[in-house]
Each structure stands twice: as structure tokens, then as C-alpha cells.
Amino acid sequence: MASRSLEDLKKETKKKAEAFLELCRKNDLEVLVYCTLRPPDEQARLYRQSRSRDQIRAKAAELKNEWGRPDLAELLISVGPQEGPLVTYAGPGQSMHQYGLAFDAVPCRGGKPVWGTRRDEDHRMWDLFGQFGVKAGLEWAGEWTRFIEFPHLQEPGAQWQELIKS
């Protein structure tokens, strides 16, 4: 199971996460951190959600052949089928969560998470969330172009392609 503790983040990422949370607090934006460090088996399970067997085999081949990680390829195959919506494009070893360089959080209203942006006020909450993350020195996945992931904040410039080799 993934951690929710900022203590599990790398030192610099933890400092930025704390700065982000302080900005949120000072501006009355309630935020719940729900994922920091994520183990490889959980990442494999998340990746498998909504994926066909062919897609899973292709990702396993990529992990083994392109990234030299047969251990992660086997892990992806061995965690078994998973139900649920598509939530990530990152296979095991390909998420910044696995290196303590990312966290997921959600703004809350009255103690309840606001997951969507259907209402204008919800969208404004997420915009503030992203602004505070960037101001704290983090990269906000709500600004990505390939796919948008509002809850995700990570260390800017970090590359899983380098980290997966170790």
C-alpha cells in the first residue's frame, strides 16, 4: 500500500511539499495528501487497470528489453488482473512516486475531497492547488499536455528514465 507520509519523500521534495501545504493553509485551501511513496507492486496493479493482455505484455517487454529490468517485467505480469479505470501510463519503475519524488493530493471542501472540476468553484480550487504547487517549486501534472493529472505534484526535472537504471 502506498504511503501518505511526507517523511517518505526525498529531502528536497519533502521541503517543497511542506511549502506547498503551508501555502494552501495560509490561503484556506484544505488539502489531503493521499499518496507519497508507492511500492512497485502497487504501481504494477495501477498500470494493469483497464489494460488488455497485449498491452500488459508489451509494457513488460519494454521494461525488460528497453530498460533492462526483467524484475519489473515479471512483477507486472505476476500481479494478476486488475479491475478499474485507467489511472496511469506509468508501469512499475516508471513513476516518480517510486523514488520519493512525487505525491498526490486533493483539495477538500468541508473535509470532503473535490475530485472533479464540473463546477466553476471546483475548477478554481484546482487552479489554486496547481499555482501553490508551482510556487513551492514543484511540477504540477495539471499543466501537462500528454495527459492531465490534477492531483499529481513532483520534483521538476527528475527523470524516471535515469532512476529506473539503478
Q: Residues 121-161: pLDDT tens digits?
A: 999 999 999 999 999 999 999 999 988 899 999 999 999 99
Shared-domain flag, residues 88 and 129? no
Q: Which of 49, 71, 94 is the last residue of a domain?
A: 94
**Assessment of whether the complete model's pTM goes beyond 0.85:** yes
- Give domain status of residue 69, yes or no: yes
**Cβ(38)–Cβ(101) below 8 Å:** no
pLDDT on residue 26: 98
**Cβ(73)–Cβ(41) below 8 Å:** no
List C-alpha distances in Å: 97 to 8, 123, 125, 151. Answer: 10, 25, 23, 13
Structural domain boundaries, residue 59: 39-94
CATH of the domain at 147: 3.30.1380.10
Q: What is the tens place of the pLDDT at every residue in 50-65?
A: 999 999 999 999 999 9
